[in-house]
Every structure is written in structure tokens, then in C-alpha cells.
Chain A
């Protein structure tokens, strides 16, 4: 599968629990820019050194939308650890993102 890796990919080797995250966007829209910024902040705060972010622009790789059942954009997919989780939206609600990533228990 062809993947588009952007300069935003951050790799943290030898982490106990590496989070493999994929952010689907459709073009550089305000929502997608905001989502990426929010995601990076959350990751730096809560997953420092143990996450990978892969960004996929569906306008360039439309065929990739099917595999992860992408409908809404932006969609963040947590591929690892399993099970796969999906978080849609611009990720501006940090609490919900943390719940979605299983980094915080749903209150």
C-alpha cells in the first residue's frame, strides 16, 4: 500500500507501547491543519517518544479511503495498539481524543 509520509512523522523507537496513528485528511483545509496541530500537541503531552503519525491526504490517494473505512474527515485512526479506534473531527476536544485513544477512561 502506498503511503504518503509527511515531514510530520515522528518516530520514537524502543517505546513500551508504540502508538501507530494515521490521520486522514482531504486537502489542506483549516480543519485538517487544526486537526494535525491538535494531534501533535496531544501526542507530545501524553505519548512522548512512543508514537508515529502518518498523514494521508485522500485527495492524492483516494483509493486509501476504503481500507480504513474513512467517511468523515479529518479521521484519526489508531492502528496500534489494537483494537483499531477511530476518532473523527478536528480533535479540538482534547478530553474526547484522550478517551478515544484509551489514554483516559471515559468519565
Chain B
């Protein structure tokens, strides 16, 4: 079988033939970061503090192996007894008793109690080897988890023997050709309390659980992966009812397709401002403005237009509830409810403070992958900024937008901007990720409240530079014609420079 290779497929520095064989963990995101999984037939160290998710990651690796990859596994646990562990993981839908009965999983609980043991003279840990070997042969295991073998240090006095035996154990595991995950407790100044990283040198994954402003964040980092490329960033991950998922930047390089199709904004005159055809399909649009400038209205028009085309739309709300939004939009003549009824439009409302950033991110990923929309609206994305630090929010949005682009989903993000002067500061965070940026503004002149908008940027098209006034009527968002003359040739050259009848159109 020959593999047609394009020029792009041949990396300059590492030939394909040298790539390590890998064992998929089946954990969403982790296999992407590691370029296919853990090093096959070798031990990987997974370390982290208490409650960081080490055991869950290890057990998921085993269960996925048994249920999805036809690779039976052995769990040797030093911490909990089998029943406790089984009930812990049952909440994730892992049925230990069934897997054990089916011969796909063997569990051996190793209990060491120092007070019950008297040490007299020389010994080795051959008993441990015998047990592991027996368990591996019983199910024909391809995967092995040792969780957490460091507990042995508390049970046995002779550190020297223990270290020598652990070294022998990890070598033995390699000889058996099993892909092993060894968990270790995070130590001070060391990756693990007992320096296990010294023995397990093929791959090391570090898990971290931080609480910042009372919001918990979990992160995963591949510290080391011998002989393989891997993402070195910290990736947020989440543990929920569906188990563990890691969020990589979906593509490590900028490889998004650049579709040429266009989609209507739902507002004819705005489409005209966007070189007559609206947004690019699969692009990301930022709509920013102060409170009450009509951001959500613009989004509602966009959703309505997409649903009319028969596209599936997903709308994340971080401020209003779906009924509130439906009512408010009905008042300006945009009735989205029929689209909700037909299932084309789905709302997903959450309070930003309810979860940490990474939970929002993972939840959004999950909802997107379940609903498979072609249009996503996030209203307003700025509310998420209250949840994390600047850098965190930027990282999260980068990942999210990256994911949406990869899936060729057209995304509209609204951004609540307190005032003009804050444009740069508030939005540099995300503006560079945006293909199109529409700015909305208010102006009060002579007792009238005027609304206006302009297109600050729109990549890949000759967009209008005009600032245009619009009104919100019960017939929808109504844009007024540019002042005098044919469009595009008015005296306006930018925002805030207009005078006259339609003046102060924005800002």
C-alpha cells in the first residue's frame, strides 16, 4: 500500500518512519496534544496533587482501552480498595464488575500497612511482580495502570530496596510490551514526591488544579515526551459527568480553510457595507458597543437570516435568559421562537460565574459538537471576562474561535464595551482573532437618541468605511441611507466625522 504524500505531509526534521508508535487514550483532546496518545509499550508518568484527576485519567485510559480499542487492562491500585474505586468510577458510566466479568479488566488492590509488617533481613518485591504478571496474563493485558505506587514508600522502610525494585519494575513493564500509566503525587520541587520521574523517562504528564478568585481551573501539561513532538502549553481540562476532556488548540498551526461563500447578516444595508454580500462563511464577527446600542439585535437578525436559510444555529447567552431574549427581539419584530420550535435554533444560557473558564469552554465545545451548528452566537462574550484573568480569557477564546473556524462555523461574538476610550484596552484581547469587527454606538443630540454603526474591519473584502445611523423599530433594525449622494461617496471618511441630517451616526 502506498501512501500518496503531498509536500505538506513531509516534515523537514523528522521522518515519518521515526515516529513512535502510540497508544490512544481515547481521552478527548489528550490524543491530539500528544499526536496520537501515549508511547506504546512504555510507561508514562502522570503526576499531580491530591484531587488533580490522576486516577481518573489513568482509569479512563484503561477503560477506553478495554471498551473501545480491544486492549484489555490491569489496574493495580495501592490506594483504594476495589469496591470503593468501582463505585467512584461507576458515576462516569464505567462498569468495573462487567469489564472484569468479561475478562477485559483485572483489578488488584495492593494494601501495605507498615504497622503490620516486620522487616527482618533481605527481601525483594518479587511478590508484586508475580501479582502483576499474573493479572496481565489473566486478561492478556496491553495496558497497565499503577495507582499510586508511591504509597509503597509509606508501607516499607527500606527505601533503597524499594527504589531498586521500582527501577526493575519499570524496565520489566517495558519488557512486557504493555503501555503503562504510573501515577505519582506531586512533590515539592519535584514532579513526584519520590522522584519517580527519574525512573519513568519516556513521557511525563503533569496535572494541576488551581483555584483563582474562587473559580477552579484544571490544567494539563505534557512535560516530557521522549522522541515525539507534543504541545508544551498548559491545556485546560475538565472533569464532568462524561469523564475527562482536554482542550487543545484544535490545530497547532494556522491551517483554517478560507471559504469564499458569503452569508447574509440579515440586514440588507449592512450586507452592502460588507462589499454587498455579507460576512464570509466560517468567519468570526465581533460586534461591540456600549449597553443598549443594539448588539443583541444585530445578532438576532443574523440568527434569523441563518435559520431562514435552513442553517442550524446555536446561541450562548451569558446575560439574558432565552425567554427574555425572545421577548425583547419580538419587540423589534424579530421572532426567533419558530426557529426554536423547529429545532434549528438552540439556546444555551449560563451564568458566567457558575463555572471556571475552562468549564465554560469545554461545555461550549461539547454543545457545539453535539448540535453541529453552522452559526454560533455568543452574547456577550465579555461577560466571560469576569471569570478569569486577561491571559486566561484570551487563551480560552483563542481555543474556542480556533475550534469554530476549524469546523467552518460562522461565529458572532458580542462585546459589551463600556465606552469609546476602552475600545483598545478591552478588545485587543480578542480583536486580532476577529475577521470582521462591527462597532455600535449611541449619541444623544437635540433630545434624540441616535444609534449608529460602522465596520471597523473586515478581512478579505472591500468594506464600507461609513458610519451609518440606524433605528430599532418594531419591524426590525432599520438602517438609514447614507447622507446624500450614492453610497460610498458621501463626505464621511470615518466614524465620528459626520454632520448634518444623519450626523452623529455613531460615535
Contacts and interface: CB of A to CB of B under 8 A. Distances in A.
Interface in A59-107: 59, 62-63, 65-66, 69-75, 84-93, 96-97, 99-100
Interface in A30-50: 31, 34-35, 38
B461 interface: no
B260 interface: no
Contact of A89 (B110, B123, B126): B123
B120 A91 contact: yes
A19 interface: no
Given A66-B108, A71-B112, A72-B156, A89 B127 contact: no
Contacts of B124: 31, 72-73
Nearest to B156: A72
B279 to A, nearest CB: 64
A97 B118 contact: yes
Interface string B126-149: 111111011000000000000000
Given A72-B127, A73-B124, A88 B118 contact: yes
Interface residues of B, number: 25
A96 B120 contact: yes
Given A87-B118, A97-B118, A73 B131 contact: no
A51 interface: no
Interface in A1-36: 24, 26-27, 31, 34-35
B120 A26 contact: no
Contacts of B156: 72
Interface string B92-134: 0000000000000000101110001111111111111111011
A86 B113 CA distance: 10
A3 B47 CA distance: 40
Given A71-B110, A87-B117, A92 B130 contact: no
Contacts, number: 95
Interface string B252-263: 000000000000
Given A66-B108, A71-B110, A73-B126, A85 B116 contact: yes
A93 B158 CA distance: 15
Contacts of B125: 71-73
A34 B134 CA distance: 26
Contacts of B131: 62, 65-66, 70-71
**Residue in A26, A35, A62, A85 with the greatest tally of chain B CB atoms within 10 Å:** A62
A59 B130 contact: yes
A34 B52 CA distance: 45
B117 A88 contact: yes
Nearest to B110: A71
A70 B126 CA distance: 9
Nearest to B161: A72
Given A24-B127, A26-B127, A73-B126, A93 B121 contact: yes
Nearest to B122: A90
Given A26-B127, A34-B121, 18 more contacts: A26-B129, A27-B126, A38-B121, A58-B130, A66-B131, A71-B152, A72-B123, A73-B123, A73-B124, A84-B116, A85-B116, A86-B117, A88-B118, A89-B120, A90-B120, A92-B120, A96-B118, A99-B118
24 contacts: A26-B129, A31-B123, A62-B131, A62-B134, A63-B134, A65-B127, A65-B130, A66-B108, A69-B110, A69-B111, A69-B112, A70-B127, A71-B125, A71-B152, A72-B125, A72-B128, A73-B126, A75-B123, A86-B118, A88-B117, A88-B118, A89-B119, A91-B121, A93-B121
Interface of B: 108, 110-112, 116-131, 133-134, 152, 155-156
